[in-house]
Structure 1
Amino acid sequence: MGILHLFIIAFVSFASFAVNGDENLNLNEEVFGLIVFKSSVTDPSSHLSSWNQEDETPCSWKFVTCNPATSKVTGVSLDGLNLSGKIGKGLEKLQNIKVLSLADNNFTGHINPDLSLLANLEHLNLSRNGFSDRIPGSLMNAGSIKFLDLSGNFISGPVPEQFFMNCLSLRSLSLSSNNLEGPIPSSLSNCTTLNHLDLSSNRFSGNPDFDSGIWSLTRIRTLDLSHNSFSGSIPNGVIALHDLKELSLEGNHFSGSLPSDLGLCPHLKKLDFSNNLFTGTVPESFHALSSLSYLNLANNMLTGEFPQWIGSLTNLEYLELSGNGLTGILPESIGGLTSLKYISLSDNNLSGNIPMSLVSSSELSAISLSGNKFNGSIPDGLFELGFDRIDLSRNEFTGSIPPGSSKLFESLQSLDLSGNRLTGDIPAEIGLNSKLRYLNLSWNDFQTRMPPELGYFQNLTVLDLRNGAFHGSIPSDLCDSGRLGILQLDGNSFTGSIPDGIGNCSSLYLLSMSHNSLNGSIPRSMSQLKKLKILKLEYNQLTGEIPPELGELENLLSVNISYNRLEGRLPSGGIFQSLGKSSLEGNLGICSPLLKGPCKMNVPKPLYLDPFAYGNQNGRHRGDESDQSSNSSKHHRFFSVSAIIAIIAAAAISIGVVIIVLLNISARRQLRFVDNALESCSSSSRSGASLSVGKFVWFESKTNPDSYCIANPESFLNKANEIGGGVFGTVYKASIGDANGDVLAIKNLVVSNMIPYHEDFDREVGVLGKLRHPNLVSLKGYYWTPKLQLLVTDYVPNGSLQTKLHERSVSSPPLSWRNRFKILLGTAKGLAYLHHSFRPPIMHYNIKPNNILLDDNLNPKISDFGLTRLLSKLDKHVMNNRFQSALGYVAPELACQSLRVNEKCDVYGFGVLILEIVTGRRPIEYGEDNVLILNEQVKIMLEEGSVLECVDGSMGEYPEEEVLPVLKLALVCTSQIPSSRPSMAEVVQILQVIKTPVTPRMESY
């Protein structure tokens, strides 16, 4: 195929000089042009098998359209064929083509600027591929393109000013979901016939030129600038866009008042200004938007009374005003919104009753009024509508829950009435909600029994009845469906035993029944909950022994059985042997060295050991046994169970003392070794040896490397620009390009042990360049010579977590618990992305505060990930003795040649990171004659019930109910046995449960 490819290219090049009058030659040009294009494409499903170079015309080929009169190719549509490769030569031969669509494939590389040679091209769709680099400024030079879609790629850098110089024919343009940055070019105003413009989900910034730019596009119908970094105010002038139907500016940093003349756009159907910084009131002119069907102003800083004219928007279907500071009451006119399907007014300061007229909105499928001050009873008619979701939580509603109608039973999926003052019985009809998945009735005052109808739900995954003033027994058939994932019954007055049917909750991962009056034993059927992660049974009256089968629950990460009447041994497996004192105290019969008081065990007989029980042990014959019977008792030995435990404990303590001494010696030696290694690496990276000529390779941000050719890369590597370093190399801050170029970070890699060949280096770095996650530092490009290898990444302005924890100045405030938790969760999501989004997983091997950078909003960004891919030889000896630059973070398997190293070593490092963030202390601290290991100290304090004393006091107030399980999670992550540690995906899930344990919409990593 390689020889054929070269022959085709040579033939096409020759044919371009031939006389154009020969019709057969022209037809052959299109055949061979498409064959040349096909030769650069990987087609795993052979969709292009009909493309035969022997044919005289391509008009019979699949996915090719021709003009029947001229037999010229007018269209090539290859959407969704799983093709890959690059757009190479060949397509420029299709001079009559009008439609070229390659959407939903896997094409990569840059967009071929030769596409601008297609003089008749009107429709170009390259969306949802893997194209990168910049947009060619000449792409629309032909001036014939009407429809251009480049969305869903990895195109980066600013949009060239000349890109819009020849756009008089352009009707529709989509550049959404790329990595474009900088301001919108002022030349956009040349596109006077533009109807649809979508620049959403990029990194555009600055204040768009509305007056002379966007507002001058008088034919625009849909304008989407959402999810960028635009800022500034929006001036009046939108009235000029008389044909405007959709305006989306959500997810930016716009501020100031909403433009008052928006109400003069008669055709406007969608208006989304959510997630910005707008202030002031909702303009009264909006009442004239009679065509408006979608209005979203959520998560701004709007104030003033709720619009009393809202009922005039008679076509409104979607109303979202949550997360503002609106006051007042809902007007009766809201019932005039007969087309309304969704309404969310949560987290404002609204008050009063729910208007009865709202029942007239018969199309409503979702309502959220949470976090306000609404009072009175819930209108009965509201529960007769066909809702999918009802959220009236965190208000001041009183009275009982309306019974509901058959229409509601057939549709309701989520019901949240928590945080009110509701009373009375739960309607029996509630069990008829066959689609209900989320039910939260917590924090009310029902003063009733738990209805058995709750067991009828076939799809329920979350049931939260905490602090609802429920009493009586727990229904035995609560989990007949087997789909329940979260069950929270804490803080009630439940009595009786835990039903044996709890074992039917096969999907349960959070079970919480604390602070009740439950008695009896823990049912053995609970061992069937194989997915269970969190178990809370504290403050009840449970008795008997803990079923040993619970030790077989491998996913169990947190257990609290304190303040019951339990006794006997703890299960020998799982989490139980590592439980702290706070999880066990208050049970005077449990056998644990952490607890004081009697230990009750069901051991029927003492244990006897007789050295003469097995025949002639000392040369005696059976005939001598009668003569020795009187003395045989002298040779018997009696050992009680407590004596054996004492002997074993003494032996364990002795072994522990020896291990601690050896760890002290080893830790000091390792620290000296790392210090020497750092000094050696630092000096080698700054050597002034002569360099071979190299070249910067950019994955994004710089399409044309020649215009950023740097004659002396060493000019970056001076002491004044140095901002950090480690065993992989030193990091410098630099500006690439002209004087006002991008500020980036450059890591000067330690060349020793790195991949020695450029092709291999390019392949491995290329993999890292494709990684994109909000919690990873983006790799922009690299520079390579045999003696100098540089990695170029985003510059993260707020420094490292190391600085914030241990090196902050007196004037710098300490990290609050909220920010510390945000850093933990973001770091966990970044690691989970590396571990679970790739096969084989990408491992970091060096999780520590120095490698966690923080942006302006203290969002974490992991650096130095995947650098072990650049090693010419990766083995455990190298990992243990060179690349683990911080003691205390090293997983034990990295030092043990017999253990398999996998992503669980990152989980161990993350566990240590949790401890360091919560306590503010380093993982290993040295005293005068001892070594203090942080995770060991926290474990001891947890067992003693004083673990909160180790929490960093500088962060001020913190919620104990979050900090304590986070510390327990850290100890699970630092388990000495890799298989006992959770995966990073599980860590993310657990952190989200700790923060908001009842939310049905958990964020993915």
Structure 2
Amino acid sequence: MLMRVNFVVVLFLFPLLLVQSVDPAFNDDVLGLIVFKAGLSDPQSRLTSWNEEDDLACNWVGVKCDPNTNRVSELILDGFSLSGHIGRSLIRLQFLRVLQLSRNNFSGPINPILSQIPSLKVIDLSENSLSGVIAEELFQQCGSLRAISLAKNNLTGAIPQSLSSCSHLERLNFSSNRLSGQLLSGLWSLSSLRSLDLSDNMLEGQIPTGIESLYDLRALNLRKNNFVGWLPENIGNCMQLKYVDLGGNYFTGGLPLSMRKLGLCRYLDVSANSLTGEFPDWIGEMRSLEFLDLSSNNFSGPIPSSVGNLKSLKEVNLSNNGFVGSLPDSFGDCVNLKVLDVGRNMFSGNLPSWVFKLALESVSVSANKYSGSISFSDPWLQSYQSLELLDLSSNSLSGEIPSTIGNFTRLQFLNISRNSLFGSIPASVGRLNTTSVLDLSHNQLSARIPAEIGKAVSLQELRLESNFLTGSIPTDIGNCSSLTSMVLSQNNLTGPVPVAIASLSNLEVLDLSFNNLSGSLPKELTNLSHLTSFNVSFNHFEGELPVGGFFNTIPPSSVTGNPSLCGSVVRHSCPAVHPKPLVLNPNSSVSNHGPLSPNLRHKRIVLSISSLVAIGAAVFIALGVVTVSILNMHARTSMARAAAAFTFSGGDEFSPSHDTEANYGKLVMFSGEADFVTGAQSLLNKDCELGRGGFGAVYKTELRGGRSIAIKKLNSTSLVKCQEDFEREVKRLGKIKHQNLVALEGYYWTSSLQLLIHEYISGGCLHKHLHDRESGSCLTWQQRFKIILGTAKGLAHLHQMNVIHYNMKSTNVLLDVSGDPKVGDFGLARLLPALDRYILSSKIQSALGYMAPEFACQTVKITEKCDVYGFGILTLEVVTGKRPVEYMEDDVVVLCDMVREALDEGRIEECIDKKLNGNYPMEEAIPVVKLGLICASQVPSNRPDMEEVVRILELIQCPPTESQEELE
């Protein structure tokens, strides 16, 4: 036993001895696994049964042995929460056939020594944190390998050429990594391959020819890469294919004719490419199809009736294309169909009757040109018991909402907004007790909101805006306890706000603007602890605004248009309420000096009380004046002391001022320059002010060398982090350098004053160039595209550095003398403590229209995708020349909605800035608009990341013609 312990100690000290000969009495498998365990972290103690004193490892957790030889044949440790590196010791397991270490936290590169285990057939290292390139050596001895999965790691580089030698390989999965380069043509020589998954990587180029040699291929997934060119022409010769996913790339051309031979194919997805042509009539020959997705391409023409041959079809998505005509009645023969999405096309005519005769679960025909009325009158409608989602929005439907709408007992999502429906909301909506989203907005509905709506107890989102609804808000709405969003704006509603609304404890968004509501706002609204957006502007409310909680942070715009409202938010003090004069019994005596007449006695009492009130008020005012004066003197003294600290000196990165930080503060200039021309007092001079934003005012000054810089004085002193945290964040931001980012050059700190020192950008902000008529500037299309692309590159770099901007808007994009954009004010939210998003939102309310919807939802994580949303809005602003939100005399125009509607109706050219006078390439403008709308998607997961945005913009960009070059 002593010999065994000593030998293990040697192994710990000298791992290379593992490849040398050892005492044959000591089992190689035990040795290899014990040393493997020693290099791991096992937080759940899953490997406690691994005991070095055992002669065999066959009874250990996760270990299986060959019953004939007692040698380890399988090591299966999936989901054990293990971490560490995959070391060399596993080479001891010379009879190992299966190695499964998925769903752990292994890190570092994949050790190529695994190739020296001659019997290894299965390697599964998926869902770990492995990184680095895949070494060529890993596949140089892979003759026995049958399956390998490295999915969901952080692997980079190209697919190794040596993989082509794994002639017996049947399953290959490298998905969800960061692999790059072109697709290895040698993969087509792996004639035994049955499953190939390279999805969600950064592979590029064209698909090499020769895929037809994989005659045994069952599943092919190349989704979400950067492949270009045509789809593989001979893919149909892989006649065993059952699963094909080529979506999310940049493929062009049409569907290859050979696909008609894929009679066994059940799943076909070519979505999110740039494919063209018509829906092929031969699609009906793929009779095994269960899932078909052609969405987000450029397909056109009608849908052929042969689609009715797809009897097995369960889901079909044809959305975001250019299909025309009507859906063929033969679709009704697809009796197994559950999901139908044909939104955002140009289908016309009446709604197909077969849609509601099938037992569909989800139907979306939004953003087409359907007309006529909605009819659910067929007595044997199958969808009454099955339909869960119905989206008929953005069409030209007319007539009334049928009362039979209440028969959909399983409906969870109903959207019939943006049509021309009229009449009343049927009381049968109260029977929609499973519906979470009800959107009837932007129609011509009139009459009252039915009280029965309070029976729809599962409602989470209710949208009835932009109709002609009258009457009061029903008190029964308080029964919808799950409501998180209620938008009733732009109607003709009257009466008060029911107190019952204050019982909707989950409410996050309440918009009652542009109505004729009156009365006072219930004080109980302050109980709505989750409220993030509140708008009652342009009504007839009066009295004091609710005070406390969220209502202390609402912007004045949310209550404007109610002249009788008072409170600090509207800067209109409420009239003081004095106690009524005391009325005493006129027959009682009040003094020893004899009785008074009743009139005189009453007058004396009133005068006495009035005098007391007046005296008290005078004393209160006097105390207030004294207090304010003292505070002002203290503030001026603090500012003077802080200003006096600017006795700057140059120096290294972290050179303080000459005096102590406790009294004067600390100046740090990353570049070493710290000699200011104007001196301390002029740094914060009003005459030097460049502008103000949500986080502070910006001033211009010069260094002795003549170089201008910009100084931001943070106005959130009470919210700024402590000095240590503040400096750590500023230094981190100061290290971020990019040609499209405003450089942070230094900072100044005291407990009462914090300054950020930036490079000065002379061209001014983008907002001024787009919207300031006095500037007289008109950006050309080439300049606008350069701004969009440069801004995207700047944001992409920020996200690579794990910095979220939080406040993306046109005032935070500056233009230098060359017209190149530079994104500023990034990362300022990180200088604040860990605030919730609602305080943060109040700091950047000036970004109205740019803020992603997840700011209004407490349960959704704020990520880089909120910057992508702001970038999308900014892109539309640059192309259209319009502000994100524009307030008209009797309407509010939201830029994103306006552009999306114009795109749906085929009149996108009307949205492009008239100042351009048509001088722009349509082949650039329209894709840029579409990209902006995608970036501004309501769902964060639908937005691309900024690296993808940059790549797409570079693909969109046309080579400049001679005339364009002259314009520049």
Identical counterparts, % of pairs: 33
In structure 2, the residue matched to 1:394 is: 367
State the AA in 1 paired with 2:881. Answer: G
1:251 paired with 2:250, answer no
Tell me: CA distance 1:294–1:886, structure 2 relative to 1, closer, same or farther (3 Å): closer
Tell me: CA distance 1:962–1:358, structure 2 relative to 1, closer, same or farther (3 Å): farther
How many angstroms apart in 1 are the aligned matches of 2:539 and 2:29? 83
After TM superposition, the structure 1 = structure 2 runs for residues 543-554 of structure 1, keeping only pairs within 5 Å, are: 543-554=518-529
Tell me: CA distance 1:653–1:1003, structure 2 relative to 1, closer, same or farther (3 Å): farther
Deviation digits for residues 48-77 of structure 1 (CA, Å, limit 9, x no counterpart) = 56556665555455554344444x2xxxxx
How many angstroms apart in 2 are the aligned matches of 1:148 and 1:406? 51
Deviation digits for residues 645-674 of structure 1 (CA, Å, limit 9, x no counterpart) = 999899879977876786676567657769
In structure 2, the residue matched to 1:427 is: 402
State the AA in 2 paired with 1:179. Answer: N
How many angstroms apart in 1 are the aligned matches of 2:632 and 2:358? 68
1:179 paired with 2:154, answer yes
Is contact 1:346–1:368 with CA below 8 Å preserved after alignment? Answer: yes
Say which of 72, 96, 107 aligns to 1:97.
72
In structure 1, the residue matched to 2:884 is: 959
Is contact 1:800–1:854 with CA below 8 Å preserved after alignment? Answer: no
After TM superposition, the structure 1 = structure 2 runs for residues 140-539 of structure 1, keeping only pairs within 5 Å, are: 140-210=115-185, 213-403=186-376, 405=380, 407-539=382-514
After TM superposition, the structure 1 = structure 2 runs for residues 868-887 of structure 1, keeping only pairs within 5 Å, are: none
State the AA in 1 paired with 2:64. Answer: T
Moved more, 146-155 or 904-913: 904-913
Partner secondary structure for residue 446 of structure 1: strand
State the AA in 2 paired with 1:421. Answer: S
In structure 2, the residue matched to 1:712 is: none
How many angstroms apart in 1 are the aligned matches of 2:155 and 2:835? 36
Q: How far has the Cα of 1:816 moved from its partner?
A: 11
In structure 2, the residue matched to 1:110 is: 85
Moved more, 109-118 or 650-659: 650-659
Deviation digits for residues 279-305 of structure 1 (CA, Å, limit 9, x no counterpart) = 122222222222221111111111222
1:65 paired with 2:3, answer no
Deviation digits for residues 915-937 of structure 1 (CA, Å, limit 9, x no counterpart) = 589999xxxxxxxxxxxxxxxxx
Q: How far has the Cα of 1:370 moved from its partner?
A: 0.7
How many angstroms apart in 1 are the aligned matches of 2:590 and 2:358? 94
In structure 1, the residue matched to 2:542 is: 567
How many angstroms apart in 2 are the aligned matches of 1:811 and 1:635? 63
Gaps of 5+ in 2: 657-669, 673-722, 746-757, 771-789, 805-823, 852-872, 896-932, 946-968
In structure 2, the residue matched to 1:126 is: 101
Is contact 2:43–2:81 with CA below 8 Å preserved after alignment? Answer: no
How many angstroms apart in 2 are the aligned matches of 1:576 and 1:401? 42
How many angstroms apart in 2 are the aligned matches of 1:352 and 1:278? 26
Partner secondary structure for residue 420 of structure 2: coil
After TM superposition, the structure 1 = structure 2 runs for residues 818-857 of structure 1, keeping only pairs within 5 Å, are: 855=793
How many angstroms apart in 2 are the aligned matches of 1:374 and 1:599? 57
In structure 2, the residue matched to 1:681 is: 653
How many angstroms apart in 2 are the aligned matches of 1:433 and 1:583? 37
Partner secondary structure for residue 568 of structure 1: strand
Tell me: CA distance 1:341–1:807, structure 2 relative to 1, closer, same or farther (3 Å): farther
Q: How far has the Cα of 1:114 moved from its partner?
A: 2.5
In structure 2, the residue matched to 1:827 is: none
How many angstroms apart in 2 are the aligned matches of 1:343 and 1:499? 40
Is contact 2:428–2:452 with CA below 8 Å preserved after alignment? Answer: no
Q: How far has the Cα of 1:232 moved from its partner?
A: 1.2
Say which of 822, 831, 834 aligns to 1:903.
834
State the AA in 2 paired with 1:681. Answer: E
How many angstroms apart in 2 are the aligned matches of 1:504 and 1:959? 35
Q: How far has the Cα of 1:143 moved from its partner?
A: 3.1
Deviation digits for residues 160-199 of structure 1 (CA, Å, limit 9, x no counterpart) = 1222111121111111111111111212211121111111
Tell me: CA distance 1:383–1:643, structure 2 relative to 1, closer, same or farther (3 Å): farther
In structure 1, the residue matched to 2:532 is: 557
Is contact 2:885–2:894 with CA below 8 Å preserved after alignment? Answer: no
The answer to which structure, 1 or 2, has the higher relative contact order (CA under 8 A, 6+ apart) is: 1
Say which of 610, 616, 632 aligns to 1:638.
610
How many angstroms apart in 1 are the aligned matches of 2:490 and 2:572? 23
Q: How far has the Cα of 1:791 moved from its partner?
A: 13
Is contact 2:281–2:304 with CA below 8 Å preserved after alignment? Answer: yes
Q: How far has the Cα of 1:265 moved from its partner?
A: 1.7
How many angstroms apart in 1 are the aligned matches of 2:59 and 2:628? 80
In structure 1, the residue matched to 2:592 is: 623
State TM-score, norm by structure 1: 0.65
Is contact 1:268–1:289 with CA below 8 Å preserved after alignment? Answer: yes
Partner secondary structure for residue 357 of structure 1: helix
State the AA in 2 paired with 1:638. Answer: S
Q: How far has the Cα of 1:336 moved from its partner?
A: 0.9
Moved more, 108-117 or 356-365: 108-117
Deviation digits for residues 766-804 of structure 1 (CA, Å, limit 9, x no counterpart) = xx9xxxxxxx9xxxxxxxxxxxx999999978546879x
Partner secondary structure for residue 176 of structure 1: coil
State the AA in 1 paired with 2:653. Answer: C
Tell me: CA distance 1:559–1:811, structure 2 relative to 1, closer, same or farther (3 Å): closer
Is contact 1:962–1:995 with CA below 8 Å preserved after alignment? Answer: no
Q: How far has the Cα of 1:230 moved from its partner?
A: 1.2
Tell me: CA distance 1:797–1:305, structure 2 relative to 1, closer, same or farther (3 Å): farther
Tell me: CA distance 1:217–1:52, structure 2 relative to 1, closer, same or farther (3 Å): closer
Gaps of 5+ in 1: 73-95, 614-619, 685-716, 720-752, 756-767, 769-775, 777-788, 818-851, 867-884, 895-901, 921-947, 968-991
Partner secondary structure for residue 116 of structure 1: helix
Tell me: CA distance 1:458–1:670, structure 2 relative to 1, closer, same or farther (3 Å): farther
How many angstroms apart in 2 are the aligned matches of 1:264 and 1:887? 53
Q: How far has the Cα of 1:582 moved from its partner?
A: 3.4
Tell me: CA distance 1:653–1:122, structure 2 relative to 1, closer, same or farther (3 Å): farther
Q: How far has the Cα of 1:263 moved from its partner?
A: 2.0
Query: How many equivalent residue pairs?
Result: 757
Say which of 861, 869, 889 aligns to 2:799.
861
How many angstroms apart in 1 are the aligned matches of 2:199 and 2:344? 27
In structure 1, the residue matched to 2:816 is: none
Tell me: CA distance 1:656–1:246, structure 2 relative to 1, closer, same or farther (3 Å): farther
Deviation digits for residues 112-132 of structure 1 (CA, Å, limit 9, x no counterpart) = 123234222221111111111
How many angstroms apart in 1 are the aligned matches of 2:34 and 2:406? 64
After TM superposition, the structure 1 = structure 2 runs for residues 558-957 of structure 1, keeping only pairs within 5 Å, are: 558-592=533-567, 607-608=580-581, 623=592, 632=604, 636-638=608-610, 666=638, 681-682=653-654, 799=741, 855=793, 858=796, 860-861=798-799, 863=801, 903-904=834-835, 912=843, 915=846, 956-957=881-882
How many angstroms apart in 1 are the aligned matches of 2:894 and 2:627? 30
